[in-house]
Amino acid sequence: MLDALVIAPHPDDAELGVGGTIVRLLSQGWKVGILDLTSGEPTPLGSLERRVQETAAANAALGNPWRQNLGLPNRSLEPSLANRRTLAAVFRTVRPRILFAPFWEDAHPDHTAATKLVEDARFWSKLSKSDIPGAPFHPSRIFYYFSVHLRIAERPSLVLDISDQLGAKLEALRCYRSQLVDNQPEGVPGVIDSVCDRTRYWGHLAGVRHAEPFASREPVGLTSLRDVLL
């Protein structure tokens, strides 16, 4: 049973968008999981074997949350009925209260397909009188993280302080050498540099050193204003 589940189109998307949050939640006693939907391959410098090794190393850097790969086809990810049923069965098995899904606006078709798939599977997971394995279950919330291929300004509903978790997030990102290190052009800021710039920006707006932004389609309820920054 998980408290939160991050659904990632490809290995490294969870680390890019939610890496610090995963580390923080684990440190607070949350049971957190990552479900990679595809292998992420082929890529110019990667291979299936190398990506598996990089993912294992990155997961260890995060603190070894529960992690599985659904084995759906990279570059051809679709929110099909079959995939919806498969993902809904996972939700019924691990029963997360909170889902983290990719932001709904992106240039990468796999990312937008993943968002649609998560939303549809969340609805199907609660259905009774269905042939989906497991007992009906409805994750209470979806938060959307930003690992996007568009040059847009994020429009978050909330940001989470990850100042103390940034080091672990960066360590996890550096494990993906084939994707985020070896393939970066010389003399210009790379992906990891950009990630740091964005976490610093959102941290500045929240009054902390680094933060990760999240969007929500639904209002975010609070029981107290005690922990609101600024």
* CATH number (domain holding residue 124): 3.40.50.10320
Residue 229, pLDDT score: 83
Residue 188, pLDDT score: 87
Residue 182, pLDDT score: 95
> Is 225 within the bounds of a domain?
no
Q: What is the pLDDT of residues 119-173, one digit of tens each?
A: 999 999 999 999 999 999 999 999 999 999 998 889 999 999 999 999 999 999 9
Owner of token pair 């996890």: 172
> Is 11 within the bounds of a domain?
yes
Cβ burial, residue 59 (10 Å; 0-12/13-18/19+) = buried
* DSSP-assigned states of every residue in 136-165: ----SEEEEE---SS------SEEEE-GGG
Cβ atoms of 115 and 144 closer than 8 Å: yes
> Is 127 within the bounds of a domain?
yes
> Is 210 within the bounds of a domain?
yes
> Is 220 within the bounds of a domain?
no
Residue 5, pLDDT score: 98
Distance CA 219, CA 198 (A): 24
Please name which of 217, 12, 5 lies closest in space to residue 110, comparing C-alpha atoms: 12
**What is the domain range of residue 29?**
4-215
Residue 227, pLDDT score: 86
Q: How does the average pLDDT of the chain come out, rounded?
A: 97
> Is 25 within the bounds of a domain?
yes
> Is 37 within the bounds of a domain?
yes
Rg, C-alpha atoms of the chain: 17
Q: Which residues of 126-136 are buried (b: 16+ CB within 10 A; e: fewer)?
A: eeeeeebeeee
Q: What is the pTM assigned to this prediction? A: 0.97
Q: Which residues of 82-92 are buried (b: 16+ CB within 10 A; e: fewer)?
A: ebbbbbbbbbb
Residue 143, pLDDT score: 98
What's the token pair of residue 122?
A: 């969340």
Residue 127, pLDDT score: 98
pLDDT beneath 70, residues of the chain: none
The one-letter amino acid code at 193 reads: D
The total number of structural domains that make up the chain = 1
Distance CA 136, CA 92 (A): 6
Residue 133, pLDDT score: 97
> Is 153 within the bounds of a domain?
yes
